Chains A and B, each alone.
Chain A
Amino acid sequence: MEVRVMKGIMDANGEIAAQNREHFAERNISVVNVLASPGAGKTTLIMAICEHLRGKRKVYVVEGDISSSIDAEKLDKMGVSVIQINTGGGCHLDANMLREAISVLSPEEGSLILIENVGNLVCPAAFDLGDSFRLLVASVPEGNDKPYKYVSMFSYADAVVLSKMDLLPYIDFDMANFETGVHALAPAARNIPIYKLSCKTGEGMKSFLEWIEEA
């Protein structure tokens, strides 16, 4: 006999994500899920945000890594409240991992949580965490074709940072093609901002940091 099911396979993760989202909304906490390939500059960008908001707003960082605590140690040295999640080979963070991290951190009301997801342009897009928005970091050396290759990840993003802009003169990077790809994947009603910046030279950082202050 046929049994009709029609139930989402990701519903279990989705339910926990919804609970996380509710928990954050009740406490007026903003949660940014930072997504990128390995080496795009997630940690450097997160450090710049923490430095900028020092004394202005309480910031917590959730560090997702397959193994090692290299990034968490860098942030800890800066005096940032950070918690490390080692996924032990897992290619993404899921809503349950975030829930457990939050119960340890117990973030204060009105704070900002930055989640550094595992460096990967595929899997993290399949697992909603209950975040407020998704910030995708793409770097100039990765090339302009990334939106065309990692369609699900670029569809998942609410905002895009194009990092390492100081390397633009040395790399054949077709900016118009990159922008076209990013905008094609944003649903028509949503306007996706692209922040072009360099953490090294400071180029473009001002408008990005102003935007994150409003987050």
Chain B
Amino acid sequence: MHEYSITKQIVKMADAEAQTAGGKRILEIRIAAGELSTYVDESIQMYFDIISAGTLAQGAKLVFRRIPAEFFCGQCGENFIKPKSGFECPKCGNVGSRTENEAGFYIESLEVED
């Protein structure tokens, strides 16, 4: 549900960056988001189509890259990607703990028409 305010921010940031770069319009916005973040890509896209109207971002394609959630096993020292359910280490079966690599949510780059 909070995608609306987040999408407003995405459009605002992308529009400002494209203007600074002297671009005519934005073709693509590349977004990276942690696997455990709670944003729904489709929902952002839906709001985006409405909010971007009249900005340089109008008609741009949104491309999402998910950063996998990495866990660490204190038992055997393995770094592993969180299984679909639970937090068990695939190597030894012990419960791992979270590392903080999944926290990001940012715009990586834009493709603009010059």
Contact = CB atoms under 8 A, between A and B. Distances in A.
Interface of A: 1-10, 12, 90-92, 94, 122-123, 125-127, 148, 151-152, 155, 180-181, 183-188
Contact of A5 (B39, B85, B87, B108): B108
Which residue, of A3, A94, A151, has the highest number of chain B Cβ atoms within 10 A? A3
Given A3-B109, A10-B105, A183 B13 contact: no
A186 B2 contact: no
Nearest to B114: A1
B90 interface: no
Interface in B61-114: 69, 71-72, 74, 85-87, 95-100, 104-112, 114
Contact of A126 (B18, B37, B97): B37
Main secondary structure of the interface of B (DSSP, over half): mixed
Contact of A90 (B2, B18, B39, B100): B2
A3 B14 CA distance: 10
B109 A5 contact: yes
A94 B72 CA distance: 31
Smallest CB-CB A-B distances: 6 pairs: A184-B87, A91-B1, A5-B107, A3-B110, A123-B2, A8-B106
A43 B55 CA distance: 43
B38 A187 contact: no
B9 A4 contact: no
A92 B105 CA distance: 18
Given A9-B106, A91-B1, A184-B96, A151 B10 contact: no
Interface in B32-56: 36-39
B38 A155 contact: no
A188 B74 contact: yes
B106 A92 contact: no
A188 B72 contact: yes
Contacts of B110: 2-3, 5
Contact of A91 (B2, B13, B106): B2
A83 B48 CA distance: 34
Given A2-B111, A9-B31, A184 B36 contact: no
Given A1-B111, A9-B31, A152-B36, 7 more contacts: A5-B14, A5-B107, A6-B106, A6-B108, A6-B109, A126-B2, A187-B98
Contact of A8 (B21, B96, B97, B104): B104
Contacts of B85: 148
A186 B99 CA distance: 9
B38 A125 contact: yes
A8 B31 CA distance: 10
